[in-house]
Structure 1
C-alpha cells in the first residue's frame, strides 16, 4: 500500500513513472530501515514522512542511527536522499528517468567507496609510508614527559584528551628532505618545546578515523592562526598528536581564573577574536582549488595562545572537507561537537553549513566578552543552553553590558589622575552586535566569516583610535599638570625675587640717608 503511486488513485492510469515513485519509496525504506506503511499511525506513510523531512531539513530524524555511523561520505548521502526525494514528486512529469537514477546512485556509491578506500589506505600508510616522516616514537614521547607525568600537564578535556608541554627531539618540518636515509621515527636532534595531545584510549568520540581526519587536515593547511602539526604517534594503544607550542596556554583556562583574565585587556581580546576569525575565513573560503572545510568543533578548548598572544585553532578531528563546485554547500551528517556550542539548526536537522561554525564562534565571542565559560553555573541557572541563550535575551532587552566581564571596566591608564578607561563604547557595541548576529537561530540569518572579520576589524580600529586619543589626552593632561606646576613655581620664585628686591631697595634708601647725614659739607656762614 505505502509504495503505490498516489496519482493512480486520482487518475486510474499507470505509467512507467509509477514504478519510479515506488522505487523512491524503496530507497527510503533502505535508508530509514522502516516499512513503507507506518503501523499504529493513521494514514501515515514513510513517503510522507520522508518528503516532509527532506523539505524541512529533518530527514536525519528518521534515518536509522546505525546506518548514519557507517556513512563516511556526507556527499554520498546527499546525492542518495536527493534522488530518492525526486522520485516521490507528485507530478509524474518531474520524476527522473531510470538513466538519471542509475547515474546518481553510482555516483553516491563511488563517493562512499572512495572515502572507505582512502580511509583504509590511510590507516595502512599512516603507520608505514605516507606520513612516515611525521611519525614519532612512543619511547621518545614518554622520555620527554617522564612517562606522562602530571608535572608536564597543561590541560585536560574531560575524558577526551590530556595535553602536555615538553621538550622533544623533533625534526625540521620545513626541511623534510633531511630525513632521507633515516629510519622512520629517527629525527635529527633538535630541541623543541611542543604540545603533546594524548587521546584517551577507548574514547568513543575520537578514534583512528578522527585521527586520520586531523592529520590530513593539519598536513594540508598552513595558516598563522592554525596550529602546526609536528608529528604523531600510533603505537600500542596510544594515539598522540604533537603540535607547535602555545606557550600561553588555552583560552579555556583563562575563563576559569580572574587573575589570568586580567592579562587579557580588551585590545588583546579583540586581537584573539580577529585571529580565530581569520583562520575560519581561510577554511571557509580561501582554500586552494576552492575547497572548503567546516571545523565543527570551535570552542575555547580549541584555541591556543602563543608567546605573542596570537591565537591558533586546534581540534580538527571532526572537521568536514567539502569538494569544490558542490551543488549545495550544506551536508547532512551525524551530530558532533560540544552541546553548548552546537548550532541549533544543525542540532535539529543534522544540516551542517559554514554558518554552523559561525554560531560556535559567536559563543566564543561572548565568552571573551563576559570572561566566563559558556557553561558556567551562573548561566546554566537561567538556561540549559548556557551563555548563548542568556546573552541573546540580554541583547534583546538592552542589558548585555550588565554581564560583560567586570575586569574590563577596571582597566586603567598608567597615570592615576586620568579617569578609568575600559573598552571604547563604539568598539564594544560593534563587537556585541556582530556576536549577536552570529547567534541567529537559523543558518541563513547569520553573517559569513568575511563579514565577521570586517566587523571585528572595525571594533579593533575603534579601540585603537580611542587609545591613541586617550594617550594624547593623558599626555596633554600630564603636560598641563607639569606646566601648571612650573608656572606656580615660577610665580613663587618671582614673588620671592620681588620681595627680595623690595627689601634691598629699602635698605639701600636707609644707607643713602645715613650717608647724606654724615658726609655732606656744612653750609657756609653768612
Structure 2
C-alpha cells in the first residue's frame, strides 16, 4: 500500500525498476550501511538513458524512518546545486520505501580519506570550498523562499565524486526555516552525529543554522588533521581548540600535509586564516560564529593562494645543484670514454 504525498508523485519509481537496477538488492552492490538501512549502487533506466544510482532502502524490520524518509524526499526535490546530491526519485510500494539519488560517491565518503596521503592540500581545500558553497546555498538561497538547516553535516555525509568534488547528502533530519528567521532557535533535541553536535543545543534547547556552522568547523579540522571527529572517547573539536589557543596546532596537523607544506612556499598567513576560520566556527556562542557567506569567502581566498604555491627558493637551489652535479658527472663520464678511445 502506498502512502505517497501527491506533490511528489512525479518522482515515483516502480519497485520492479529499482529491484532490477540493484540486481535484487544484491549484497555485492551494498555501498553503505546506516541507521535507516543499506545503500545500494545500481544502473537504472530513466527516460531512455542508463544512469548510475544510489538507492537507500529503509529497513523494513524496524518500521522506522518514515518521517526521515519523507523529509529527505521533500528536501532533495527542491534542492539543485552542484555540491548537493541529486534526487532521481523514490519508491513507496509494497511496504518498501527507497530513496534513489544519482551515484555521487565514486571515491566514497570524505571520512574514508581523512588520512589519505594521496589527498593533497589543494584537493582538501577544494572539498572545503564545495561544502561551504552547498551550505551557503542551503542557508541563504532566495530562489526557494526558505532556508534549510542541514543538521547532519559530517565527513560521512560528504561524498566525493570521481573528480574529488564534494556532494553533500544526508538530509533525513533537515529543517526548513523562513529566511528572515534563520537565527531564531527551533526547539529540538540534540540532533546529529557525536563529535559534531552543537554544544549550544543543550543550553538553548534548540538549533539554528549556526548549528551547521559548528559541525562544519569540526569537518574543517578533520580535513586539516586527518583525524575523525570522535575517536577513542576524544572530541577533535576540543583537541583542536586547545592546540589553536596554545599555538601548537602544527602538532596535530596530518604529517603528510605538513610534509607537503614544508616543500612549498605556503603562506603561513593562508594556513593561519584557514585555522582561524575553522576555530571561529567552533565558538561556544552561536552569535560569535561566522555566517556561511563569510566562510566561503575566506576559504576561496585560501584556496586561491594554495593553487599558486611555488617551490621554496631553497628548493630551487637544491634542484639546481642536483642538475649541475648530474651534468658534471655525465660530462666526466663521456670525457673518460672519449679519452680511452683515442689513447
TM-score between both structures, scaled by the size of structure 1: 0.58
1:333 and 2:192 correspond? no
Aligned ranges 1:442-457 → 2 under 5 Å: 442-457=285-300
Aligned ranges 1:229-268 → 2 under 5 Å: 229-246=87-104, 247-255=106-114, 258=115, 261-268=116-123
* Cα distance change, pair 194–470 in 1 and its aligned pair in 2 (3 A): same
* Cα distance change, pair 346–204 in 1 and its aligned pair in 2 (3 A): farther
1:399 and 2:248 correspond? yes
| Kept after mapping to 2: 8 A contact 1:430/1:458 | no
1:150 and 2:9 correspond? no
How far residue 275 of structure 1 moved from its aligned partner, in angstroms, is 0.4
State the Cα deviation string for residues 267-311 of structure 1 (Å, max 9, x = none). 111111110001111111123155211111111121111111100
| Kept after mapping to 1: 8 A contact 2:186/2:208 | no
Aligned length: 340
* Cα distance change, pair 162–426 in 1 and its aligned pair in 2 (3 A): farther
| Kept after mapping to 1: 8 A contact 2:140/2:179 | no
How far residue 143 of structure 1 moved from its aligned partner, in angstroms, is 2.5
The structure having more radius of gyration, on CA atoms, is 1
* Cα distance change, pair 223–473 in 1 and its aligned pair in 2 (3 A): farther
Residue in structure 2 matching 1:169, options 31, 35, 45: 45
Q: Which structure's residues are more often helix, by fraction?
A: 1
| Kept after mapping to 2: 8 A contact 1:440/1:446 | yes
1:427 and 2:270 correspond? yes
Residue in structure 2 matching 1:298, options 150, 153, 156: 153
Aligned equivalents of 1:195, 1:473: Cα separation in 2: 49
| Kept after mapping to 1: 8 A contact 2:44/2:50 | yes
Aligned equivalents of 2:197, 2:87: Cα separation in 1: 26
Residue in structure 1 matching 2:131, options 276, 298, 302: 276
| Kept after mapping to 2: 8 A contact 1:289/1:324 | no
TM-score between both structures, scaled by the size of structure 2: 0.87
* Cα distance change, pair 359–488 in 1 and its aligned pair in 2 (3 A): same
Q: Say which SS state the counterpart of residue 118 (structure 2) adopts.
A: coil
State the Cα deviation string for residues 450-503 of structure 1 (Å, max 9, x = none). 11112212222232222xx218976775456435544676688789999x99x9
Aligned equivalents of 1:448, 1:194: Cα separation in 2: 33
1:317 alignment counterpart: 172
2:56 alignment counterpart: 197
Aligned equivalents of 2:188, 2:205: Cα separation in 1: 6
How far residue 348 of structure 1 moved from its aligned partner, in angstroms, is 2.7
* Cα distance change, pair 391–492 in 1 and its aligned pair in 2 (3 A): closer
5+ residue gaps in structure 1?
1-122, 172-187, 413-418, 504-526
| Kept after mapping to 2: 8 A contact 1:409/1:423 | no
* Cα distance change, pair 289–237 in 1 and its aligned pair in 2 (3 A): closer
Aligned equivalents of 1:431, 1:252: Cα separation in 2: 20
| Kept after mapping to 2: 8 A contact 1:303/1:312 | yes
State the Cα deviation string for residues 76-108 of structure 1 (Å, max 9, x = none). xxxxxxxxxxxxxxxxxxxxxxxxxxxxxxxxx
Moved more, 245-254 or 307-316: 245-254
State the Cα deviation string for residues 354-405 of structure 1 (Å, max 9, x = none). 211100101111111221221211xx1xx4xx11122212222222221222
| Kept after mapping to 2: 8 A contact 1:434/1:455 | yes
| Kept after mapping to 1: 8 A contact 2:263/2:312 | no
CA RMSD of aligned residues (A): 3.2
| Kept after mapping to 2: 8 A contact 1:408/1:422 | no
Q: Say which SS state the counterpart of residue 470 (structure 1) adopts.
A: coil
Aligned ranges 1:20-39 → 2 under 5 Å: none
| Kept after mapping to 1: 8 A contact 2:139/2:179 | no
Q: Which structure's residues are more often strand, by fraction?
A: 2
Q: Say which SS state the counterpart of residue 339 (structure 1) adopts.
A: coil
Q: Say which SS state the counterpart of residue 164 (structure 2) adopts.
A: coil
Residue in structure 1 matching 2:210, options 355, 378, 402: 355
| Kept after mapping to 2: 8 A contact 1:342/1:360 | yes
